[in-house]
Chain A
Amino acid sequence: MRYKFVFWILILFSISYLGFSASGITGDEIINEVDKNMTFTSARMESKMLIHVGKQVRTKKMISYAQGKDKSFAKFTSPARDKGVKYLKIGDNMWMYLPSVDKIIKIAGHMLRQSMMGSDFSYEDALESNKLLEKYKVTLIGQDEKSYILELTAKVKKVTYYKRKIWVDKRTFIPTREELFAKSGKKLKVMTMGEVKRFGRRYYPTYMTIENLLRRDSKTELFTTKAQFDIRIPAGIFSQANLKK
């Protein structure tokens, strides 16, 4: 009986191993494909956030621009209390503009962990544009019929999430679920992605949810209502001068 159990364990391991080999793809290659979809030379998006706290819902709308991995700009257009607040990220520098005082404030790296405009997204979640391969070591830890399952462990110090577990759709190479962990191993957030649409040669999820597990009954939905990729972005968008325009 005991030998039979060990035999089946060995068979299962062999099948799993053969499965990864037979797929002929490595974790790095999968993430590379993910990065091809999720990072872009330039983009302009219009988005709507629904922030759920218990039974209450808050809606926020924004317009954002991104160029390469280093530059992004976001401007909130509603609700009234947040209208006109803008963010600019250039490399590792980030600034926020507060229209009420007409002042640009530098946001330090540690503040990227803070909630962005009361949502479950941190500033880093919302404005992150670096390729995952540049910051994480990737291991393919499993797969099912629809997804590859990857574990990413930070190889640089400056990351908010030390470990990420990602389910990647085998057909579109879009992450469908992501679990984000602290260095202590504590699960911090869970993201899901869906409503994948084709934009030219890339797939992109136009619906996203994020749950902050450190908070009770809290979830944010992000709808991308309009997206344009690899477009020409007007000069001066990624500048402090534009924050005050």
Chain B
Amino acid sequence: MTKKLLAIFVICGLSFGISAQAALDIAGTYENDFMAYLKKDGSGGIGDLNRLRLKIDVRTSRDLSLHLEPRFYHVISSENIPITGVSDLDKMIFDKAYIKTHLSQLSLTYGKQRIAWGTGYIWNPTDIFNPYVLSFAVGQEDETNVEAVRSEISVGEASGIDAFILNDSSRSGVRAKTNIGLFDFSASYVDLSGSGFQWGVDFAGEFGIGIRGEAIVRYPYNSARYFQGILGCDYTFENGIYVNSEYFYNGLGNNSLYLGINNNLDEITKISGSTIINLDDQSFLIYPSYSRNVAENVDVSIESMVLGGQEGTEYNRSEFGGSKLGFVRVKYSF
């Protein structure tokens, strides 16, 4: 994949004309996550996850660029611990690897990339690749990326059409977006190949408070169609305290609610609290955190996750259901 991309990039670069403007930019992050957990049966353990990520950008002109994002994750732990959103340990993989070109109003991206649709904070029914992400706990870099060809056509300042097809043709979709007044609106269609298709809409805007929503109707080929939707709102008070909430209906009779609050204690220190409650079985997840930018490019955070509810409910189902977890994360950006 990466060799193929490099070859395409060189060919494109030569056609566009590699100029004196050609630039190489290497950045990245190293993150150490130390975690400890206590299970409901009284047993516990510790683990240490090391994450190294490079972000390499080669730009031959304003209109052609190559982006490579190799990463290597290594974990040392007392047993197999639950690390949400992390896979492919102990090997180098390319999380992203794509070339991008801009031709007037058209932008084309080919390779492994993030296709992020929707406006939800926790739940994104219109985003078929990352429909559920614990955004307050999981690094954004760890969201799922896909190998695809994507074209984005911009119309005016805030409207456009976005279309993609996966390399293996298993998914394809198109989304049109526009802005009316203080609202962004989008409508989308995704072909799930052999398993069905879905129509979706989303919006984000404000009536004094910020509001956002998403809805899809999915048509599986082998079962009845169903509806999923979210509705969220957020607000910042005069004293800087920010509150956020989101309601999710999963289309199968299950309702969930997210509530979050955060406040900057000073310009480099933030405290936050998040909870997700399954409104039907009353199981829950609570996630308080404290973070501080201790040096120019070094962030430290202390976080905790408590899972609770009746045995067998959503957040008390697996081996780690009902557990208490604590994390200390140190992240260095370079």
State whether the Cβ of A16 lies closer than 8 Å to any Cβ in chain B: no
CB neighbours (8 Å) of B62 from chain A are 245
Q: Is there an interface contact between B209 and A110, defined as CB atoms closer than 8 Å?
A: yes
Nearest B residue (CB) for A54 = B266
- Encoded as 1 (CB less than 8 Å from any B CB) or 0, chain A from 47 to 88 comes to 000010110101100000000000000000001110100000
Shortest A66–chain B CB gap in Å is 15
Task: Please tell me if the beta carbons of A241 and B107 are within 8 angstroms of each other in the complex.
Answer: yes
B210 at the binding interface (Cβ < 8 Å): yes
Q: Which of B238, B264, B265, B334 lies at the interface centre, i.e. has the most chain A CB atoms within 10 A of its CB?
A: B238
Residues from 262 to 307 in B contacting A, C-beta threshold 8 Å: 264-268, 293, 296-297, 299
Instruction: Give the interface size class of chain A.
Output: 35 or more
**Is there an interface contact between B105 and A241, defined as CB atoms closer than 8 Å?**
yes
Question: Which of A200-225 touch B at CB < 8 Å?
Answer: 212, 214-218, 220
Cβ-defined contact, A218 with B267, below 8 A = yes
Task: Please state if A214 and B239 are interface contacts (CB–CB under 8 Å).
Answer: yes
Q: Nearest A residue to B27 by beta-carbon distance?
A: A80
The proximity string for A residues 86-101 relative to B, scoring 1 for CB distances below 8 Å and 0 otherwise, is: 0000101101001011
Interface set, chain B 71-117, CB cutoff 8 A to A: 102, 105, 107, 113-114, 116
Given contacts A106-B205, A114-B242, contact A80 B334 (CB under 8 A): yes
- The answer to whether B236 touches A114 (Cβ under 8 A) is yes
- B296–A58 contact, CB under 8 A? yes
Task: Compute how far the CA of A56 lies from the CA of B72 in the bound complex, rounded to whole angstroms.
Answer: 32
Against A, the Cβ 8 Å flags (1 = close, 0 = not) of B208-236 are: 11101000000000000000000000111
Chain B interface category by residue count: 35 or more
B184 within 8 A of A: yes
B residues less than 8 Å from A114 (CB atoms): 236, 240, 242
Say yes or no: A239 contacts B156, CB within 8 Å: yes
Set of chain A residues within 8 Å of B179, measured between Cβ atoms: 93
CB contacts (< 8 Å) of A102 on chain B: these are 113-114, 116
Within 8 Å by CB of B234, from A51, A59, A100, A108, lies A108
The answer for the CA separation of A93 and B185 in the assembled complex, in Å, is 13
User: Is A240 interfacial (CB 8 A cutoff)?
Assistant: yes
Asked whether, in the complex, the Cβ of B296 is within 8 Å of the Cβ of A59, the reply is yes
C-alpha spacing A220/B267, complex, angstroms: 10
B143 cross-chain contacts in A, Cβ below 8 A:
101
Report the separation of the CA atoms of residues A132 and B265 in the bound assembly, to the nearest whole angstrom. Answer: 30
Q: Cβ of B236: which chain A residues have Cβ within 8 Å of it?
A: 110-111, 113-114
Q: Which residues of B164-208 are within 8 A (CB) of A?
A: 179, 182, 184, 204-206, 208
- Looking at chain B's contact residues, the main secondary structure is strand
Which A residues are in CB contact (< 8 Å) with B334? 80
A58 touches B268 (CB 8 A): yes
A129 within 8 A of B: no
B238, A53: Cβ atoms closer than 8 Å? no
- By CB atoms of chain B within 10 A, which of A100, A118, A119 has the most? A100
B240 CB contacts on chain A under 8 angstroms:
113-115, 214
Q: How far is the CA of A100 from the CA of B154 in the complex (A)?
A: 21
Cβ-closest chain B residue relative to A52 = B267
Residues of chain B within 8 A (CB-CB) of A244 are 107, 152
A238 within 8 A of B: yes
Q: Is B157's CB within 8 Å of the partner chain A?
A: yes
List the B residue with the shortest CB-CB distance to A57.
B296
B140 located at the interface, meaning its Cβ lies under 8 Å from any Cβ of chain A in the complex:
yes
A101's contact among B140, B152, B160, B234, by CB below 8 Å, is which?
B140
Assess the B209–A108 pair: CB atoms within 8 A: yes
CB of B2 within 8 A of chain A? no
Could you tell me the distance between the alpha carbons of A101 and B156 in the complex, rounded to whole angstroms?
A: 23
Are A115 and B267 in contact (CB-based, < 8 A)? Answer: yes
A contact residues around B102 at 8 Å (CB) = 241, 245
Give A22-46 as 1s and 0s: 1 = Cβ < 8 Å from B's Cβ atoms: 0000000000000000000000000
Q: Which of A80, A92, A217 is the one whose CB lies under 8 Å from B182?
A: A92
Contact present for A109 and B141 (CB under 8 Å): no
Most buried by A among B107, B113, B204: B204
> For the complex, what is the distance from the CA of A64 to the CA of B205, rounded to whole Å?
24
Using A101-B143, A241-B152, A241-B154 as known contacts, say yes or no to A110 and B206 having CB atoms under 8 A apart.
yes
Q: Is the CB of B210 within 8 A of A239?
A: no
Query: Is the CB of A232 closer than 8 A to any CB of chain B?
Result: no
A90 to chain B, nearest CB (A): 6
Could you tell me if A239 and B266 are in contact, using CB atoms closer than 8 angstroms?
A: no
> A102-B116, A106-B184, A113-B240 are contacts. A239–B267 as well, Cβ < 8 Å?
no
A169 in the interface (beta carbon within 8 A): no
Which residues of chain B from 102 to 144 have any CB-CB distance to chain A below 8 Å in the complex? 102, 105, 107, 113-114, 116, 119, 140-141, 143
A178 touches B (CB below 8 Å):
no
Residue from B27, B158, B160, B266 in contact with A83 in the complex, judged by beta carbons closer than 8 Å: B27
4 more CB-based (< 8 A) A-B contacts, given A108-B204, A110-B210, A111-B210: A54-B266, A80-B27, A93-B182, A98-B140
Query: Can you offer 8 A-B residue contacts whose CB atoms are under 8 A?
Result: A81-B299, A93-B184, A101-B116, A103-B114, A113-B236, A118-B293, A215-B265, A244-B107
